[in-house]
Amino acid sequence: MILPIADNWFETRRYSDDITLIYEPHVIPDIHCNMWHVRGRDHDLLFDTGMGVMSLKNHVALVTEKPLLCVASHSHFDHVGGHHEFDNRIMHAAEADIMTVPTRDNTVISDYVSADIFTAAPFADFDPDAYTITAAPPTRLVADGDVIDLGDRQFEVLHLPGHSPGGIALWESATATLFSGDVVYDGLLYDSLYHSVLEDYAASMERLRGYKVETVHGGHWESFGQARFVELIDEYLAGARKPGCPID
Ligand SMILES: [Zn+2]
Ligand SMILES: [Zn+2]
């Protein structure tokens, strides 16, 4: 099947509190990630950058307004394809080697990317089988408890391994806002990737359960509040929230 060429590769949706969602509508909902842009006084924050098949800088003016701190929730292809476009690249050390030498295997492209995940092509002659991630070694490594400071807003790094070894979430205590990456979102959660560790995932979930959140902006699907947050964590810990075990 020949895919139509997309008019606009990116769409944006403005939330309250100077937070904007950027996503790729022509990648199926199971796969396209949520890229979260937060305006700050001195820096803006961009948490994840999508598949990288089109330039964020050329197509989303928002990401060029201010000096940007570009943070990777983890190294899977759906989240880090655009990181190479930005000078300030922040991530956890445990996946720095992957972003330094990304392959189709270590970024899980070979497991998930085929023509089937696209409803339109980003450009003529786009070849899903040739798709790769451009190397984007981190310029700053963060560990649990480190703070990413935008000047007027501070985000604490939570290291939450399990889905992947270097998975992080960002916690803004002043607003009780959690950017949770692929650790928890309102959809099926993946803990059987090549570098997933079940025990770590469960421990990360148990830790998160202690947070009182106002809003969770996940790495995929819709945002949610405290009641759904606890429900999703409890469902995961009960073994229900996994591929092949849909409970929706
Ligand atoms: Zn992932
Ligand atoms: Zn993902």
Mean pLDDT per 10-residue section of the chain, whose length is 248 residues: 90 93 96 97 98 98 96 98 98 98 98 96 95 98 98 98 98 98 96 95 97 98 98 92 58
Nearest ligand to residue 193 Cα: 1
Residue 246 domain-assigned (yes or no): no
pLDDT at 2 (0 to 100):
80
pLDDT at 245 (0 to 100):
58
- Distance from residue 151's CA to the centre of ligand 2 (Å): 28
Residue 202 domain-assigned (yes or no): yes
Q: What is the 3-state secondary structure (H, E, C) of the chain?
A: CCCCECCCCCEEEECCCCEEEEECCCECCCCCCCEEEECCCCCEEEECCCCCCCCHHHHCHHHHCCCEEEECCCCCHHHHCCHHHCCCEEEEHHHHHHHHCCCCCCCCHHHHCCHHHECCECCCCCCHHHCCCCCCCCCEEECCCCEEECCCCEEEEEECCCCCCCCEEEEECCCCEEEEECCCCCCCCCCCCCCCCHHHHHHHHHHHCCCCCCEEEECCCCCECHHHHHHHHHHHHCCCCECCECCC
Residue 93 domain-assigned (yes or no): yes
pLDDT at 248 (0 to 100):
46
pLDDT at 244 (0 to 100):
56
- Distance from residue 76's CA to the centre of ligand 1 (Å): 5
Residue 4 domain-assigned (yes or no): no
pLDDT at 16 (0 to 100):
83
| Domain that residue 95 falls in | 11-237
Residue 242 domain-assigned (yes or no): no
Residue 244 domain-assigned (yes or no): no
Look up the CATH number of the domain holding residue 160: 3.60.15.10
- Distance from residue 67's CA to the centre of ligand 1 (Å): 26
- Distance from residue 176's CA to the centre of ligand 1 (Å): 23
pLDDT at 239 (0 to 100):
86
Q: Can you give the pTM of this predicted structure?
A: 0.96
If one counts the domains in the chain, the total is 1
Residue 159 domain-assigned (yes or no): yes
Residue 65 domain-assigned (yes or no): yes
